[in-house]
A and B are shown apart, each in its own frame.
Chain A
Amino acid sequence: MSKKTYSQAINEALRQEMRRDPNVIIIGEDVAGGHGASGETGGVGGVFGLTKSLYTEFGPERVLDTPISESAIIGAASGAAVTGLRPVAEIMFVDFVGVCFDQIYNQAAKFRYMFGGKAKTPMVIRTAIGAGLRAGAQHSQTLHPLFTMVPGLKVVMPANPYDAKGLLISAIRDDDPVIFMESKLLYGMEGEVPDEAYRVPFGEANIAREGKDLTFVAFGAMVQRALAVAQTLAGEGISVEVIDPRTTSPLDEEAILDSVAKTGRLVVIDESPPRCSLAGDISSLVAEKGFRSLKAPIGKVTCPHTPVPFAPNLEDEFMPNPRRIEEAARAVLAYR
């Protein structure tokens, strides 16, 4: 066990799985970096450095730099997966999924069912998500609801370094296509991460903080914000439980319902626009299956129904921020 960042945890998971299984390959733009240039090859390791030094260890056969061609990257990963490899494809920013969505939702996601259960598609799509870096409307989205609604995909949103490693190892060993969504805001976050390989299973929520007066459900980078507000409210004697579902599909419905059964009050914090969001999805779950537990209407903290703005003050207000989370919590707590 040692302290590692979220980035290091991901890099370590990739390295250990590539050592364990020769079928694991990495494919994407600049995942090595520097191909064909006059200087160093393999020193870039992706725009955020997540695959750094893997090229040095595993070489060009298993760490494949591609042209900027997202449809072909994802299509090739699907084709390789369905014929026996375990590709980990990288879509640099989740926003670029617009270029290649067909290969994800019409192809990879459907093979297993559409072919009558005769195909396995063990592939992972790693991608960086989320606002907060002042990266503008086409480099800052989260888009998890888009993937979560597609039958055939598993959707993972690690919220800390420990989960990043364990969930990525589960994703690589999984026989279905997995969208692995890395929160850019968490890349530098440090935490205890075991040195050996381990799995964090899908569909098992992490109770990030126990409490009895109010439940927060949050995903990815929003978990840290939920925890911070829970800490603030604890100073006033308000006890907040923070549920991090870890995966949006499969979703640990039981953990959410059990928590609401205990607290009777729910606020969902979701970095996406309000319509067809995970906030809406979880509210619907609790309204359907946990109605009797509720002591107050469900609170939702989402982004507005707009693209992500560039200016820092607009972007800070766009995201679910501590002020907005706290306001929603107080409104739900005040309801009698």
Chain B
Amino acid sequence: MQLSRDDLKRAYRGMFTIRVFEERVNKEFALGNIPGFAHVYLGQEASGVGVCFDLTDEDYIGSTHRGHGHCIAKGCDVRGMMLEIMGKEGGLCGGKGGSMHIADMSKGMLGANAIVGGSPPIAVGAALTQKLRKTGKVAVAFSGDGASNQGTTFEALNMAVVLGAPAIFAFENNGYGEHTAASYAVGAPSIAERAKSFGMPAEVVDGSDFFAVREAMGRALERGRAGEGPYALEIVCSRFLGHFVGDPQAYRLPEELAKARANDPIPRFRARVTEAQLLDDADLDAIERDIHAEVEAAVQLAVAAPRPNINTLETDVYLRY
């Protein structure tokens, strides 16, 4: 499907929002405004936005510990996200979840997930709901190259085939499971080959190219929406920063990091759409200005917001002792 000018603006908006949001998370973490840990999505923007671009609020995604980008791509409110990440009242999970557990059921976002390999089985279940109700909707499990080595993932891949669930396994291969390279930890020639061996179509995609990701996802969606079963994408991308904010990354040489930056998905998108004269620099600059203002406002709001009311400690449970 050809993308309109509005579509292209929406894609750029999504990717640039993730970029500015995550750079700000990095900064606010250093300032002490973000408790705990944070794992940022910088460098992987084209993957999240490409996968989620043609999904509706009724399609589901499950995410990972590196989930902020998926949340934004799926339409979660950046103010609610920033409040949640800072542990404040009004956060998307009331401050109970934090960075690794942001969820928004109204957007079909089944949660970031702090257990590696946690999402794939959940996505199979969400896909089964669609199959049984004949909604034509799908469920996507984002997971990393690290999660591709978990037993839960193998079981989910197989069961999705056996049950014919419209699940899409989006493996974001950013080269690293925490601090260990996928070249060491993934024994198979590729994650896509591994997925194929379970009996589903799978392909390797350039994860720094929004258009390539969206097109591959289009094939997965076509199959899922037609009720023909699961599909897997191995989205090859780069993690600009370490596993968590503050990871010194001595295990990566400067040349490798520079190479990752040279393939930045955002300038690539900009060059492609401006060279093709689909959008001009003024269009894109206007989007950037809007987003800077939006993220700034979210940070201001979240920094000033109070902590959750202490009485909420024991709400959202069915039983107290």
User: Are B35 and A35 touching (Cβ within 8 A)?
Assistant: no
**What residues on B are CB-neighbors of A311 within 8 Å?**
35, 87-88, 91, 95-96, 98, 307-308
B interface footprint on A40-67 (CB within 8 Å = 1, 0 otherwise): 1101100100000000000000000111
Q: B177 — which chain A residues lie within 8 A by C-beta?
A: 29, 67-68
> B241 in the interface, Cβ–Cβ < 8 Å?
no
| A30 beta carbon closer than 8 Å to chain B | yes
Report if B291 contacts A (CB, 8 A): no
Chain A CB within 10 A, most for which of B113, B116, B253, B313:
B313
In the bound complex, CA of A275 to CA of B321 (Å): 8
Q: Mark A285-327, 1 if CB is under 8 A from B, else 0.
A: 0000000000000000000111101111110011000000000
Q: For the complex, is A232 an interface residue (Cβ under 8 Å from B)?
A: no
Question: Among A44, A71, A99, A314, which residue has its beta carbon within 8 angstroms of that of B308?
Answer: A314
Chain B hits for A304, CB < 8 A: 313-314, 320-321
User: Quick check: A68 and B36 within 8 Å, CB to CB?
Assistant: no
Q: Is the CB of A39 within 8 A of B249?
A: yes
Task: Determine the chain B residues whose CB is within 8 A of the CB of A139 once the complex forms.
Answer: 37, 100, 114
The answer to whether A310 and B249 touch (CB under 8 A), given A134-B36, A317-B310, is no
Cβ of A95 < 8 Å from any Cβ of B? yes
Report if A191 contacts B (CB, 8 A): no
Interface residue? A138 (CB, 8 A): yes
Stretch from B44-52, B123-131, B149-157, B266-274 that touches the partner: B149-157
A133 at the interface (CB under 8 A from B): yes
| Residues of chain B with a CB closer than 8 A to A136's CB | 36, 97-101, 114
Question: How far, in Å, is B36 (CB) from chain A's closest CB?
Answer: 3
B150 in contact with A68 (CB, 8 Å):
yes
Complex Cα distance, B36 from A138, in Å, reads: 12
The answer to whether A68 touches B151, judged by C-beta atoms less than 8 angstroms apart, is no
Question: Is B319 part of the binding interface, using a Cβ–Cβ cutoff of 8 Å?
Answer: yes
Interface size on B, residues (CB 8 A): 57
CB contacts (< 8 Å) of A37 on chain B: these are 176, 179-181, 184, 251-252, 256
Does B236 belong to the interface (CB within 8 Å)? no
Which residues of A lie under 8 Å from residue B184 when comparing CB positions? Answer: 35-37, 65
Of B84, B97, B98, B101, which is in contact with the most chain A CB atoms at under 10 Å from its CB?
Answer: B98
Nearest Cβ on chain A to B260's Cβ, whole angstroms: 11
Identify which of residues 63-109 in chain B touch chain A, using a CB-to-CB cut-off of 8 Å: 84, 87-88, 91, 93, 95-101
Distance in angstroms between the alpha carbons of A312 and B86 in the assembled complex: 9
Question: A309's contact among B95, B100, B147, by CB below 8 Å, is which?
Answer: B95
Q: Is B186 an interface residue (CB 8 A)?
A: yes
Determine the residue in chain B with the shortest Cβ distance to A274: B321
The main secondary structure of chain A at its interface with chain B is: loop
Which residues of chain B have C-beta atoms less than 8 A from A274's C-beta? 321
A217–chain B nearest beta-carbon distance, Å: 20
Within 8 Å by CB of A30, from B178, B250, B307, lies B178
Q: Are A30 and B180 in contact (CB under 8 A)?
A: yes
Q: How far is the CB of B80 from chain A (nearest CB, A)?
A: 14
Q: Shortest distance in angstroms between B57's beta carbon and chain A's nearest beta carbon? A: 25
A residues 124-146 with Cβ under 8 Å of B? 133-139
Report the Cα distance A314→B317, complex, angstroms. Answer: 15
Q: Which residue of B lies closest to A310 (CB)?
A: B98
Task: Give min CB distance, B257 to chain A, whole Å.
Answer: 9
A274 to B319 Cα, complex, angstroms: 12
* A69 touches B (CB below 8 Å): yes
Query: A67-B146, A136-B114, A309-B96 are contacts. A40–B250 as well, Cβ < 8 Å?
Result: yes
A138 B181 Cβ-Cβ under 8 A: no
A316 nearest CB neighbor, chain B only: B310
CB-based contact A38/B253 at 8 Å: yes
A149 in contact (CB, < 8 A) = no
When the two chains form their complex, are residues A40 and B101 in contact, meaning their CB atoms are under 8 A apart?
no
Is B160 close to A, CB under 8 A?
Answer: no
Is the Cβ of B178 less than 8 Å from the Cβ of A36?
no
Which one, A99, A305, A314, contacts B117 given CB within 8 A?
A: A99
Are A314 and B179 interface neighbours, CB within 8 A? no
Q: Tell me which of A44, A99, A313 contacts B150 (CB under 8 A).
A: A99
Are B98 and A305 in contact, CB atoms less than 8 angstroms apart? no
Cβ contacts under 8 Å, A34 to chain B: 179-181, 250-251
Complex contacts, A237 vs chain B, CB 8 Å: none
Query: For residue A313, which residues in chain B have a CB less than 8 angstroms away from its CB?
Result: 307-308, 310
Bound together, the chains give a CA A136 to CA B36 distance in angstroms of 8
Cα distance A310–B97 in the bound complex, in angstroms: 5
A71 CA to B96 CA, complexed, in Å: 29
Inter-chain CA distance A33–B321, complex, in Å, is 43
Contacts of A47 in B (CB 8 A): 178
Please, which residue of chain B has its CB at the minimum distance from the CB of A34?
B251
Q: How far is the CA of A65 from the CA of B186 in the complex (A)?
A: 12
B311 to chain A, nearest CB (A): 10
Question: Is B185 a contact of A35 with CB atoms below 8 Å?
Answer: yes
Residues of B within 8 A of A65 (CB): 180, 184-185
- Pull 17 A–B residue pairs with CB atoms less than 8 Å apart, ordered by A: A35-B184, A37-B184, A37-B256, A38-B252, A38-B256, A39-B251, A65-B184, A67-B177, A68-B116, A135-B100, A136-B97, A138-B118, A307-B96, A310-B95, A311-B91, A313-B310, A314-B308
Identify 12 new A-B residue pairs, CB closer than 8 A, beyond the known A68-B147, A312-B307: A34-B250, A37-B180, A37-B252, A65-B185, A67-B146, A99-B151, A134-B87, A137-B114, A139-B100, A275-B321, A313-B310, A314-B310
Taking Cβ atoms with an 8 Å cutoff, the residues of A that contact B are 29-30, 33-41, 43-44, 47, 65-72, 95-96, 98-99, 133-139, 273-275, 304-307, 309-314, 317-318
